[in-house]
Structure 1
């Protein structure tokens, strides 16, 4: 085996093999890069009492931003006639970013020629929106591409008014939409179109408690086409619409988002909405901000005005929290 071929790894689409002729005279060897999936990879060997085998992706912007989540079987196979093999237990969904993420320590001494054989069962990348990681190979990639294309097409149906069959009347404008999409996303809309209500007969839905901009953001969410800035701007209106039309995922998204930036200017409004829409985590977060962190004293005038119009049960809860906090001193 020539010097150049001693570092070469032979590959198919999912299999990599590194043939080692002689490791006796060296304590460390690193393969040439080899490509599997989207990434360049390396295998390395290190002798130090034990033999350490490492598999890792080459450092790059791709590895930093989208490290592979790998499932594989790795073996060391003797090249002698009996072809004895040592097999590591199957690795499943292991995120690999550097040369310490997968290390196999082999206690059995290896002599003569042998092959390091890596069979990749799957390679995934993390979803950019924090969802389930997706395989880069046929099944996962096809599904992800299909989902992205379908979502983009759904968004175009709304923005380009493609075959709309119902009109949404906001307080200051109208938007065309599609019964089937609305019914699929909201049991309230589905009920409207399933019974002989005026929305079914007149092909209109009046949403008079929303102006056109938050109404557009609401429809954009339903169609999977909302921009993050619009979501942040219209969170409270979207929360109201989600509660009214029973869209639980939108309500949950608003709930989580409203928890993230509680401050002195918005805490009382959010506390009121937490009580109105039964959002326990938001209520707890606002209570802690006001009572445990003592911010109730920083907004005394606003808090006194809040007490004049707040729900009695909510006022009782606040004073219960205050009394409990005082007992702790």
Structure 2
């Protein structure tokens, strides 16, 4: 029975597999962690199924109650597979009585309950604006004193003693060779050897827009804001791969892992393959096959397979064989 109460999680998705109710008409899951809270699911069978989602009663959930935007799905296993999806919910969840969902169906045998968190915020007890849990507030700012960060910000924004010009697809920026070279082995090689960039003090980055290149420089100068990182993270990933900025590449991979969903999983899988992001690739595979979300992207799969690399398709096939291997 222990395995019947375990909830598996990946990214913002939690999945509870129930083989059967047996003689029991009520089930409560083990706790699972999404965001900063532990959560529970419960299922009660009468004529229909009644599903609840609620946070663990604790000091944290009392002082920092979650404001959650989420969607629930119930999938009935077997040849006549059926999926029931709730409307998108946005609820302040404090207790087990704050939210419940009736599924109009008589359940027999195995079924799966999914909850996908679209957003999570901390609701302040004294009023005011709710604070987002994702992205982590300030996590992209380097650990440095505020005075140093202010100086670096001024150096970049006011081009103080700048000595290199960067040409983007829609404009130019001024920067500093020392900071670029210290951040990237590719930039260091440009200025060390007798290359065009060293001679002209100009770097062409025409595969980035002015705005996304500014986000790249802000990262290198340690002054990037979290919202700018999220807005430009795909462009930053490409730049990190091109210029050998390993810590930025890792940060982009971790960020892309945080919000895998049915609407972006195939795009993420392609990016993971292109940039050799093994953790992201594995996460997408698990999302699609172990969590069964491949059924949600059936229509998109044909177009994906027409464009996907042959070796990637082979890995996907091997993953299917592993997941669906008979016991």
Task: Specify the TM-score bucket, using the shorter chain as the normaliser.
Answer: 0.5 to 0.7
* One of 276, 279, 286 as aligned partner of 1:278: 276
Is it true that 1:204 corresponds to 2:202 in the alignment? yes
Counterparts of residues 310-321 of structure 1 (less than 5 Å) = 310-321=308-319
Is it true that 1:221 corresponds to 2:224 in the alignment? no
Aligned-residue CA RMSD (Å): 2.2
Give the match for residue 8 of structure 2.
none
* One of 274, 294, 300 as aligned partner of 2:292: 294
Deviation of residue 148 (structure 1)?
2.5
Post-superposition Cα deviations, 1:71-108, rounded to whole Å, max 9, x if no partner, equal: xxxxxxxxxxxxxxxxxxxxxxxxxxxxxxxxxxxxxx
Structure 2 SS opposite 1:168:
strand
Structure 1 SS opposite 2:145:
helix
Deviation of residue 158 (structure 1)?
0.4
Is it true that 1:159 corresponds to 2:187 in the alignment? no
Post-superposition Cα deviations, 1:151-187, rounded to whole Å, max 9, x if no partner, equal: 2211210011111111111111111111111011111
Whether the 8 Å contact between 2:138 and 2:225 is mirrored in structure 1 is: no
Whether the 8 Å contact between 2:172 and 2:210 is mirrored in structure 1 is: yes
CA distance in 2 between partners of 1:236 and 1:301 (Å)? 24
Give the match for residue 103 of structure 1.
none
**Structure 2: which 5+ runs fail to align?**
1-62, 65-136
CA distance in 2 between partners of 1:233 and 1:324 (Å)? 36
TM-score (norm 1): 0.55
CA distance in 2 between partners of 1:311 and 1:155 (Å)? 42
Whether the 8 Å contact between 2:162 and 2:176 is mirrored in structure 1 is: yes
CA distance in 1 between partners of 2:160 and 2:180 (Å)? 15
Give the match for residue 182 of structure 2.
184
TM-score (norm 2): 0.56
Give the match for residue 258 of structure 1.
256
Deviation of residue 327 (structure 1)?
1.3
Give the match for residue 57 of structure 2.
none
Give the match for residue 192 of structure 2.
194
CA separation of 1:146 and 1:287: change in aligned 2, threshold 3 A: closer
Deviation of residue 244 (structure 1)?
0.7
Counterparts of residues 84-233 of structure 1 (less than 5 Å) = 147-233=145-231
Deviation of residue 325 (structure 1)?
1.7
Whether the 8 Å contact between 2:139 and 2:226 is mirrored in structure 1 is: no
**Structure 1: which 5+ runs fail to align?**
1-63, 66-127, 132-143
Deviation of residue 147 (structure 1)?
2.9
Structure 2 SS opposite 1:298:
helix
Structure 2 SS opposite 1:208:
coil
CA distance in 1 between partners of 2:307 and 2:215 (Å)? 30
CA separation of 1:303 and 1:200: change in aligned 2, threshold 3 A: same
Counterparts of residues 5-24 of structure 1 (less than 5 Å) = none
Structure 1 SS opposite 2:324:
helix
Structure 2 SS opposite 1:149:
helix
